[in-house]
Chain A
């Protein structure tokens, strides 16, 4: 079946709401408006206002409310409009959701799912375009997912809801319109592992979210020049699945990490460090990174494109690691 990423997320939501009466969705404009990115369109009609809850513009309160509701026996899915707005809820996400289990000596888990849009590419300028999921991946106590494919958009919600701990799902805003083939929904799609999205032998390209597609484009371009790139989709940003990318790097002996976050203190930095720590002697070249330029996202198209990782930049980074052919 050919559907969009948006429709895949909606199907996942519909299935979750249908299967478990404890599940409900809340967030800004998820109901009558149908979701800022139209993800929850028509769900209000289907499930009613108690389970598709429009909230006031109160990120801090409705995320905290989601935490309390999770503690109280329901299974909330909280939608935050964009990652930039999630900063208004940072206290509740970090100081409560992530810490409660530990602070309570293991008495209280918080089975909460928070979904939000992330990323640039739509000329939405500095306050609507950043990729801050790497910040969240810094925090022990939460899990951080970045579905890049239609399958993951469809499949990651159910295991996230089944998880007893808080799970943050980052949906790249550019992906909502992406169309693709959806096979039979995987029962219990895994939220623990990275995946090899393209097999290769000469270099390992590691990305996630929308960057996966630019990375695959780069791999395609490299293939035309006889360079075989293996592409890893991280999928799960916390806890990181070291084993999958290390296995690949040990084989290809070269790694380029592609991350829409800023380079300094980025998730790419973490992946790079883990490769250095665990596979240094398997490397034939330094680990390279292609990240966003260290500038707030500019509005004009050409500057936005220049600020972001692009396939040609990835290709250039790969070539620099390889002996001249």
Chain B
């Protein structure tokens, strides 16, 4: 845990990380609002509070690397470079969406950036990530597959099967466990006999790291080391990012399972404001800089909403397309 160390970046690089977090935060705040307006329907799982993980880790990946994420993946998609317009259109279910509107919030896909979901079955992405890495290995391509999942997935059998396979076959998978302490409403100590998740990963002979997921600097530094490790050694690594979601599990969650005081305590460590404070304290950024970046993020969100609003509904005649590949 390395919270609060000096920010070791030049101004431009430091602001890039902030910009990623701001874009996620403002995008999702708007999504929550749009959900209230019933513009976005279905399930909506917000990443608010956890932004430092995606913002710090994903920029470290190379363009040719692959990502496999979960149903709480808006942040990952944005940082990876999926256009906010296409993402918002997907939230609306419009044809201009990155998954043509067929997926919605939980099923974000993008071939251009090798973004393989968007998986709404807990743990469902893990073996797929192992397979993507196997394909690279078999074809002699030195790429990394980063697989993001929550600590809830660690309770699934498929986590253990996938870790075993990746370790057994020495495949270049970066397992990124976003431990936000709650699998929906079940706190980790109520679902895991061993709450130190790195112990489980280590049992497969996979090296592990534990990182303060509220600190974008710590995440970024850990990700640089981790991605390089996986790329160089062409073997798996497990990183636990300790984080916390500030919002409910989904928009249907009344949050009966945790104390407001606990949420407030974690909010004190909020990734956005703590990083902003540090940047200012170190003279890397002024309040004007922040306002400018925030304004840009809000403007981008506003443009994305306009884009989604103007998007088209797919005609019902096209209902059965994309079930099979056309001949």
Interface residues of A (CB under 8 A from B): 22, 24, 50, 55-56, 58, 60-74, 76, 91-92, 95-96, 100-109, 140-141, 143, 164-165
Q: Is the CB of B132 within 8 A of A107?
A: no
Question: What number of A-B contacts does a CB cutoff of 8 Å give?
Answer: 148
Q: Is the CB of A101 within 8 A of B322?
A: yes
Minimum distance in angstroms from B126 CB to a CB of chain A: 7
Query: With an 8 A cutoff between CB atoms, is B121 at the interface?
Result: yes
Query: With an 8 A cutoff between CB atoms, is B97 at the interface?
Result: yes
Task: From the candidates A67, A92, A104, A140, name the one contacting B109 in the complex (CB within 8 A).
Answer: A104
Minimum distance in angstroms from B324 CB to a CB of chain A: 5
Q: Is the CB of B127 within 8 A of A63?
A: yes
Q: Is the CB of A108 within 8 A of B116?
A: yes
Closest to A61 in B: B161
CA distance A61 to B139 in the complex (A): 20
Task: From the candidates B98, B103, B138, name the one contacting A69 in the complex (CB within 8 A).
Answer: B138
CA distance A68 to B46 in the complex (A): 26
- Count B interface residues, CB 8 Å: 45
Closest to B111 in A: A107
Minimum distance in angstroms from B170 CB to a CB of chain A: 12
7 interchain pairs, CB-CB under 8 A: A65-B131, A102-B322, A103-B103, A105-B101, A105-B102, A106-B322, A164-B325
Q: Is the CB of A71 within 8 A of B132?
A: yes
CA distance A235 to B128 in the complex (A): 30
Interface residues in B75-121 by Cβ distance below 8 A to A read 97-103, 107, 109-111, 116-119, 121
Q: Is the CB of A72 within 8 A of B135?
A: yes
CB contacts (< 8 Å) of A107 on chain B: these are 99, 109-111
Those 4 A-B pairs whose CB atoms lie nearest each other, nearest first: A68-B131, A72-B135, A64-B127, A105-B100
B183-196 CB mask vs A (1 if < 8 Å, else 0) is: 00000000000000
CB contacts (< 8 Å) of B132 on chain A: these are 68-69, 71-72
Q: Is the CB of A66 within 8 A of B131?
A: yes
Q: Apart from A63-B127, A108-B109, A165-B325, what are 20 other A-B pairs with CB-CB below 8 Å?
A: A24-B138, A56-B161, A61-B158, A62-B127, A64-B131, A67-B131, A68-B68, A68-B127, A68-B128, A68-B133, A69-B131, A71-B132, A100-B117, A104-B109, A105-B322, A106-B321, A106-B322, A107-B111, A108-B111, A109-B325
CB contacts (< 8 Å) of B219 on chain A: these are none
